[in-house]
């Protein structure tokens, strides 16, 4: 961890992340030191096999920077915040709790209020059963001061795994079923037809590393849940984001009839020279809606946008499941928008361009919880913000993280305000 990273830990949102990790690791370290860690925990594991290397890898990746490599509360984060993490290694009373009691509380989640600074996801949503017992066994060993386990980079790959990821919810991209459902049919000029049928909407991911809390927001992914199958009628959607040139036609047509709010980066009502094919941005939601209606179209619903971006196989990004800066104008590749349709390798399964990056996009819906997701209480839910999708070149004022460009990620904006990395496309 760099000194810059440590210095950021003095902020309130860093303490929230530390609190989560503290509660998480604290619970793990509360057991008896009387028997061998592997022997005792192995007798309780259904698999009957304990992998201490795997347990140490999980602890090392997610716990040591708060509680330290020896569980004494002296990790790089631990020394930078107050109150200090407890030195559980010497807390005999806490460490006397039975393993099964601890495992039950860990599996079900100790702090269930997602608005709490101490919130941590239930371990059954983060680790499979074998991984949970592996961590438990390793921490027992750590508490006894008997850690002699060596791990390498290979042990750190792919941690942790969610049991839900192994349930076969997603069809592999390129499967016959996926290919049959994404054949685009001809439609109105510049639009692509999305066939009727089901698709996978939302996510089952968990913010394991408490990134949302560390960056001063709620736990990531909570407003994207639950992952579910949604059936839609067929519809058309623009292949490209609305450009400056197309929006200029609308502005000119409205002159003398309706006042269209001027765009700050235009000069005298004209877009910058050479940027006709760039996506229009800084347009508030009502102006985007008016443009689409003028074209005989409408803004896409949130579900329509997501299906057009990810197809039916539940892919994480329009091009597949692996993030790449080379497939979209994201993470400030160019310091601003570029001409639409430049990333052939970043197209969605239906052939749509820039569904990730360039500019994020307004959709029709108010920012509200999904059906079945009402358990997460976001104070901004309701009819005060409209949903924004796709992730723009600048992250809509946020840190630029890969998750902002995922097909399920939800952002929001006030409908009366424009944002320099938010544009739109229309549907019909």
Q: Which residue has the tokens 């590749």?
A: 333
Q: Measured in whole angstroms, how far is the alpha carbon of residue 237 from the centre of its chain? A: 24
Say yes or no to pLDDT of 331 above 80: no
State residue 198 phi and psi, 5-degree precision.
-85, 155
What pLDDT score was predicted for residue 380? 94
The top-scoring range by mean pLDDT among 47-56, 215-224, 266-275 is 266-275
Angstrom CA distances, 30 to 56, 87, 140, stand at 16, 11, 8
What pLDDT score was predicted for residue 88? 55
Contact 427, 237 (CB under 8 A): yes
Nearest residue to 137 via CA among 34, 37, 63, 61: 37
Contact 233, 268 (CB under 8 A): no
Say yes or no to pLDDT of 409 above 80: yes
**DSSP-derived secondary structure for 361-374:** EEEEEES-PPTT-T
Domain architecture of the chain: domains with CATH: 3-166 (no CATH), 169-428 (3.90.1580.10)
Percent of the chain with pLDDT over 70: 65
pLDDT grade for 354, boundaries at 50, 70 and 90: very high
Say yes or no to pLDDT of 420 above 50: yes
The top-scoring range by mean pLDDT among 77-81, 114-118, 187-191, 374-378 is 374-378
Q: What is the pLDDT of residues 89-129, one digit of tens each?
A: 666 666 677 888 777 766 776 555 554 444 456 777 677 88
């Amino acid at each position: 961890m760099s000194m810059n990273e440590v210095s950021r830990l003095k902020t309130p949102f860093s303490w929230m992340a530390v609190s989560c990790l503290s509660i998480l690791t604290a619970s793990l370290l509360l057991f008896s030191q009387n028997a061998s860690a592997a022997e005792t925990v192995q007798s309780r594991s259904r698999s009957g096999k304990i992998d201490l290397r795997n347990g140490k890898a999980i602890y090392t990746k997610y716990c040591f920077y708060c509680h330290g490599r020896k569980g004494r509360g002296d990790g790089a984060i631990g020394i930078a915040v107050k109150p200090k993490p407890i030195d559980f290694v010497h807390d005999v009373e806490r460490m006397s709790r039975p393993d099964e009691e601890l495992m039950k509380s860990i599996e079900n989640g100790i702090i269930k209020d997602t608005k709490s600074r101490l919130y941590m996801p239930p371990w059954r949503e983060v680790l499979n059963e074998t991984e949970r017992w592996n961590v438990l066994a390793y921490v027992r060993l750590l508490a006894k001061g008997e850690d002699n386990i060596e791990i390498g980079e290979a042990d750190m790959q792919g941690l942790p795994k969610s049991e839900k990821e192994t349930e076969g919810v997603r069809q592999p991209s390129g499967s016959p079923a996926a290919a049959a459902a994404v054949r685009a049919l001809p439609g109105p000029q510049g639009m692509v037809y999305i066939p009727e049928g089901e698709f996978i909407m939302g996510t089952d991911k968990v913010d394991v590393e408490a990134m949302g809390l560390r960056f001063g927001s709620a736990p990531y992914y909570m407003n994207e849940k639950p992952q579910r199958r949604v059936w839609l009628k067929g519809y058309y959607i623009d292949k490209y984001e609305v450009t400056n040139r197309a929006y200029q036609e609308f502005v000119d047509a409205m002159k003398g009839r309706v006042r269209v709010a001027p765009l700050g980066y235009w000069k005298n009502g004209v877009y910058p020279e050479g940027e006709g094919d760039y996506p229009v941005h800084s347009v508030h939601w009502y102006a985007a809606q008016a443009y689409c209606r003028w074209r005989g179209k409408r803004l896409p619903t949130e579900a329509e946008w997501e299906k057009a971006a990810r197809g039916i196989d539940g892919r994480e990004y329009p091009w597949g499941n692996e993030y790449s800066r080379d497939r979209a104008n994201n993470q400030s590749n160019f310091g601003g928008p570029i001409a639409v349709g430049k990333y052939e390798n970043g197209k969605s399964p239906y052939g749509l361009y820039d569904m990730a990056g360039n500019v994020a996009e307004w959709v029709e819906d108010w920012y509200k919880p999904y059906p079945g997701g009402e358990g997460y209480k976001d104070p901004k839910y309701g009819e005060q913000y409209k949903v924004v999708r796709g992730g723009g070149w600048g992250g809509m004022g946020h840190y630029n993280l890969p998750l902002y460009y995922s097909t399920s990620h939800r952002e929001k904006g006030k409908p009366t305000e424009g944002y320099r990395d938010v544009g739109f496309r229309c549907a019909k």
